[in-house]
C-alpha cells in the first residue's frame, strides 16, 4: 500500500467524529489539524510514535489547530481520532529505516565514548548538524534523533540555529537545551533549562555579524557545560539549521559546522550541489562526515504566509501555552524601570570590523506590538554575550503617565531592567 485516504482504506466509522485507524507495520498517517478546531488521538493497540516519541496507550492527547505530524508505527497499531482533519493520508513509503540507522550508529559512537574517557577529545559524543532546504524535514529529524537518544538513556543537547522557525522558544532566537526525555509531541521541547540568545530578527541578513557572534557565543557556553558534564558531553549534540543553503546561507552553514565542531553533517533531500560543495569543503577533515538522506514525502510544504502565521502562533504559545493552558499576565512598568537597547545598526555591514554597537531605544509608541527580550546583562555592554530570561510583549505606551503596559508569561517581578529590541513583532489575535 502506498498513499491512500485513511477514512476509506483504514478507518471504521464510530459515530460522527471518532474513527478508528489501523496502521500496518512501518507505515504512518500524516495529519494536518485544521485551523478552526483541535484534534484528539488515543492509542488502543500496538506502539506508535510521533517523530520518535512514543505515545501513551489509552490516553486522549489533544493536538492544537494547524499542527502537522505523522503517527508512525514500527510493528502495526490501532488508534482512534476524534475530530476533523484538514488532511490525513496513510503511507508506507517512509525513510524511517534510514533515520533509525543513523540513530543506531550514533548510539554506537556514544557507547564507544563511554568506554574511552581517558582524554577529553575522545570523550566527545557525536555532533550532528542537519542541513537542507526549507521544508525538507530538518526539525522533524532533529526531534526523532533526540527522542530516540533520550529513550535510550542519553541526554543529547539540541541546538536550534533557525531564527525563522524556532523549536525551543519564539522565533528570532538562537538557543540550546538538554533533552532528557523524548520530545513531547504536543508541548514540544522543554524551555525551562534552555540557553537562549535573542537575535531579534527572523532573517539572518538583518545582522549577519550578530548572528555569527551569537552562534559562537552559544558554542562557547556549551563547551563550558560539556567540560563539567560528562554525560552531556558523551551524548553529543543535534543541531538544527535554517533552510538557507546557498550564497551567504551556505557560508553560515560552514560557519556553524566549524563553530560547533560537527562530526556528522546530514543533508536532507535532493541537494546534489550542496553535498558536492560540503564534501569538497571538508575533503581533508577526516573527522567530518557528510551524509545525504532522503526527504520524507510526508513533510508539509509551508508557504511564506503560513510560515508567518506559524511565527505568530509560536509567540502566542510562548505566552499562552500550546493548548491555551498557560496564563499570561498584563502588567505595567514605569519608563524608568525599562532600558531598551538595539544591537548593531539596522542594516549592519557584515564585513565591518567595528565592534557591534549597543544603542539605547527611546521609549515611545513605536514599541507597541514589539516583542522584547529580558536580558540577564547587568550592564548594557554585556547584552550581546548574555542569555535572556524570557520575553515580554508591549501592548501600550502611555507617554503622559510614562508607563508601559506589557504582557508577561510570569506574575513575578521582572528579573532585569535591560531589554533587547529587534524587528520582531506579534499580532495578537
The least CB distance from residue 325 to ligand ADP, in Å, is 20
Please give the order of strands across the beta sheet that includes 18-23: 11-14, 18-23, 77-82, 39-46, 61-63
Of 304 and 353, which CB lies nearer to ligand ADP in the complex structure?
Answer: 304
The residues in 130-169 that bind Mg ion, with binding defined as CB under 5 A, are: 138-139
The least CB distance from residue 310 to ligand ADP, in Å, is 8
Neighbouring C-beta atoms of residue 400, cutoff 10 Å:
5
Please give the order of strands across the beta sheet that includes 289-293: 195-198, 173-178, 157-160, 237-240, 127-132, 264-268, 289-293
Closest listed residue to residue 424, CA positions, set 374, 360, 373, 380: 373
Of 266 and 374, which CB lies nearer to ligand ADP in the complex structure?
Answer: 266
Q: Which residue has the cell 509551508?
A: 302
| Residue 222 · residue 238 · CB < 8 Å | no
The least CB distance from residue 126 to Mg ion, in Å, is 20
Q: Does 140 belong to an annotated binding site?
A: yes
Binder of residue 136, out of Mg ion, ligand ADP, none (CB less than 5 to 8 A by kind) = ligand ADP
The least CB distance from residue 248 to ligand ADP, in Å, is 18
Q: Does 136 belong to an annotated binding site?
A: yes
Cell of 324: 491555551
Of 290 and 343, which CB lies nearer to ligand ADP in the complex structure?
Answer: 290
Phi, psi values for residue 277, rounded to 5° = -65, -40
Q: Which residues here bind ligand ADP, judged by CB under 6 A?
A: 28, 30, 68-70, 132, 134-140, 243, 296, 298-300
Query: Is 115 exposed, middle or buried (CB count within 10 Å of its CB: 0-12, 13-18, 19+)?
Result: exposed
Binder of residue 271, out of Mg ion, ligand ADP, none (CB less than 5 to 8 A by kind) = none
Of 139 and 263, which CB lies nearer to Mg ion in the complex structure?
Answer: 139
Binder of residue 134, out of Mg ion, ligand ADP, none (CB less than 5 to 8 A by kind) = ligand ADP
Binder of residue 70, out of Mg ion, ligand ADP, none (CB less than 5 to 8 A by kind) = ligand ADP
Of 165 and 408, which CB lies nearer to Mg ion in the complex structure?
Answer: 165
Q: Does 386 belong to an annotated binding site?
A: no
Of 178 and 314, which CB lies nearer to ligand ADP in the complex structure?
Answer: 314
Q: Does 137 belong to an annotated binding site?
A: yes
Q: Is 241 among the residues that bind Mg ion (CB under 5 A)?
A: no
The least CB distance from residue 374 to ligand ADP, in Å, is 28
Q: Does 138 belong to an annotated binding site?
A: yes
What is the C-alpha to C-alpha distance for residues 261 and 255, in angstroms, rounded to an integer?
10
The least CB distance from residue 235 to ligand ADP, in Å, is 22
Of 225 and 294, which CB lies nearer to Mg ion in the complex structure?
Answer: 294
Of 73 and 140, which CB lies nearer to Mg ion in the complex structure?
Answer: 140
The least CB distance from residue 136 to Mg ion, in Å, is 8
What is the C-alpha to C-alpha distance for residues 300 and 85, in angstroms, rounded to an integer?
14
The residues in 388-427 that bind Mg ion, with binding defined as CB under 5 A, are: none
User: What residue number has its CB nearest to ligand ADP?
Assistant: 298
Closest listed residue to residue 323, CA positions, set 67, 87, 71: 67
Binder of residue 185, out of Mg ion, ligand ADP, none (CB less than 5 to 8 A by kind) = none
Q: Which residue has the cell 557525536?
A: 126
Neighbouring C-beta atoms of residue 171, cutoff 10 Å:
26
Cell of 246: 546557498
Closest listed residue to residue 181, CA positions, set 161, 155, 203, 207: 155
The least CB distance from residue 32 to ligand ADP, in Å, is 7
Q: What is the DSSP letter of 122?
A: G
Residue by residue, DSSP assigns 329-354 as EEEEEEGGG-EEEEES-SS--TT--S
What is the C-alpha to C-alpha distance for residues 252 and 238, in angstroms, rounded to an integer?
17
Which residue ranges are tagged as binding site for ATP?
28, 135-140
The residue ranges that bind Mg ion (CB under 5 A) are 138-139
Which residue ranges are tagged as binding site?
28, 135-140
Amino acid at each position: 500500500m502506498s498513499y491512500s485516504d485513511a477514512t476509506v482504506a483504514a478507518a471504521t466509522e464510530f459515530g460522527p467524529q471518532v474513527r478508528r485507524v489501523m496502521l500496518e507495520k512501518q507505515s504512518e498517517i500524516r495529519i494536518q489539524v485544521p485551523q478552526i478546531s483541535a484534534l484528539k488521538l488515543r492509542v488502543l493497540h500496538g506502539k506508535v510514535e510521533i517523530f520518535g516519541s512514543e505515545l501513551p496507550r489509552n490516553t486522549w492527547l489533544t493536538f492544537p489547530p494547524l499542527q502537522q505530524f505523522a503517527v508512525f508505527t514500527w510493528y502495526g497499531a490501532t488508534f482512534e481520532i476524534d475530530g476533523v482533519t484538514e488532511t490525513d493520508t496513510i503511507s508506507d513509503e517512509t525513510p524511517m529505516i534510514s533515520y533509525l540507522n543513523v540513530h543506531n550508529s550514533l548510539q554506537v559512537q556514544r557507547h564507544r565514548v563511554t568506554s574511552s574517557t581517558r582524554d577529553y577529545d575522545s570523550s566527545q559524543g557525536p555532533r550532528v548538524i542537519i542541513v537542507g532546504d526549507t521544508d525538507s524535514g530538518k526539525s522533524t529529524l532533529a526531534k526523532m534523533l533526540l527522542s530516540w537518544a533520550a529513550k535510550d538513556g542519553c541526554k543529547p543537547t539540541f541546538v536550534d540555529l533557525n531564527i525563522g522557525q524556532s523549536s525551543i522558544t519564539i522565533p528570532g532566537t538562537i538557543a540550546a537545551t538538554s533533552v532528557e526525555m523524548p520530545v513531547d509531541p504536543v508541548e514540544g521541547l522543554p524551555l525551562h533549562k534552555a540557553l537562549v540568545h535573542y537575535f531579534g530578527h527572523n532573517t539572518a541578513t538583518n545582522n549577519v555579524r550578530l548572528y555569527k557572534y551569537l552562534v559562537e557565543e552559544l558554542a562557547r557556553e556549551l563547551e563550558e557545560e560539556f567540560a563539567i558534564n560528562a554525560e552531556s558531553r558523551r551524548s553529543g549534540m543535534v543541531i538544527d539549521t535554517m533552510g538557507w543553503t546557498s550564497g551567504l546561507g551556505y557560508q553560515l552553514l560552514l560557519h556553524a559546522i566549524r563553530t560547533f565542531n560537527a562530526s556528522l553533517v546530514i543533508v536532507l533531500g535532493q541537494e546534489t550541489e550542496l553535498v558536492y560543495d560540503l564534501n569538497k569543503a571538508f575533503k581533508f577533515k577526516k573527522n567530518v562526515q557528510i551524509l545525504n538522506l532522503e526527504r520524507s514525502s510526508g513533510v508539509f510544504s509551508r508557504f511564506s504566509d503560513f510560515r508567518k502565521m506559524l511565527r505568530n502562533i509560536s509567540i502566542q504559545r510562548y505566552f499562552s501555552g500550546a493548548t491555551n493552558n498557560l496564563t499570561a499576565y498584563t502588567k505595567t512598568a514605569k519608563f524608568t524601570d525599562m532600558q531598551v537597547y538595539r544591537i548593531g545598526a539596522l542594516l549592519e555591514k557584515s564585513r565591518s570590523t567595528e565592534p557591534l554597537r549597543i544603542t539605547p531605544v527611546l521609549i515611545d509608541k513605536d514599541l507597541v506590538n514589539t516583542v522584547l527580550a529580558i536580558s540577564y546583562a547587568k550592564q548594557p555592554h554585556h547584552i550581546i554575550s548574555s542569555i535572556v530570561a524570557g520575553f515580554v510583549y508591549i501592548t501600550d505606551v502611555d507617554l503622559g503617565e510614562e508607563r508601559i503596559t506589557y504582557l508577561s508569561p510570569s506574575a513575578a517581578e521582572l528579573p532585569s531592567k535591560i531589554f533587547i529590541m529587534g524587528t520582531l513583532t506579534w499580532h495578537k489575535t
